């Protein structure tokens, strides 16, 4: 059988334990998982792309079959250029499904044969998002349940000066 390979794309701004749940489950299903930090070169996220990649690399270091890349363009183009046939996406709940299915259909239209596999979030991870992590971080909340430990110092450092006093 041919070795199987998948692309797990996202913004990862920053990586969360929800993302790690998807990565570890995908790593058990595929020979190789390529985590792709996809970004629009004209839009600035909270963390610079290089920092997002660095945090992901630290968090994924224990997985020998996981690689991390970044790409500033269309997912379908990346899939064509690098020969991906399978995209993995985590789904936290039904609210995610409509847009995820639309994305999967468009990507398959742009890159015929490209399949998207949805992994339902583990129940205890289904409320965790990067948006929520950024908001908690801005208020100085304890992030240890939400961000992988390897990435935690980088997230805390980025929000060190922005913590609100609550006054």
Q: How far is CA 132 from the centre of its chain?
A: 14
Q: Does 10 bind ligand PNS (CB under 6 A)?
A: yes
Smallest gap, in angstroms, from Cβ of residue 138 to ligand PNS? 18
Cβ atoms of 130 and 13 closer than 8 Å: yes
Smallest gap, in angstroms, from Cβ of residue 75 to ligand PNS? 4
Task: Give whichever of 50 and 163 is closer to ligand PNS, judged by the CB atom.
Answer: 50
41 to 80: interface string for ligand PNS, x by CB under 6 A = ---------------------------------xxx----
**Preceding amide of 90 cis, omega within 30:** no
Q: Does 9 bind ligand PNS (CB under 6 A)?
A: yes
102 to 131: interface string for ligand PNS, x by CB under 6 A = -x--xx------------------------
Cβ atoms of 69 and 97 closer than 8 Å: no
Dig out the tokens for 11 from the structure.
Answer: 């913004």
| Cα-only R_g, the chain | 16
Within 10 A of 141 (CB to CB), how many other CB atoms are there?
A: 15
Residues engaged in binding ligand PNS (CB under 6 A): 9-11, 38, 74-76, 103, 106-107
């Amino acid at each position: 059988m041919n070795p199987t390979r998948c692309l797990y794309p996202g913004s990862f701004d920053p990586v969360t334990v929800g993302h790690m749940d998807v990565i570890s489950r995908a790593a058990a299903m595929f020979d190789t998982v390529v985590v792709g930090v996809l970004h629009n070169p004209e839009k600035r996220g909270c963390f610079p792309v290089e920092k997002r990649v660095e945090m992901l690399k630290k968090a994924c270091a224990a997985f020998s079959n996981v690689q991390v890349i970044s790409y500033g363009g269309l997912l379908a183009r990346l899939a064509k250029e690098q020969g991906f046939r399978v995209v993995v996406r985590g789904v936290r709940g039904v609210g995610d499904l409509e847009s995820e299915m639309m994305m999967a259909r468009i990507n398959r239209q742009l890159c015929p044969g490209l399949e998207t596999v949805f992994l339902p979030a583990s129940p205890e991870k289904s409320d965790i998002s990067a948006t929520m992590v950024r908001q908690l971080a801005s208020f100085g909340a304890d992030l240890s349940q939400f961000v992988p430990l390897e990435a935690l110092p980088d997230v805390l450092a980025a929000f060190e000066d922005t913590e609100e006093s609550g006054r």
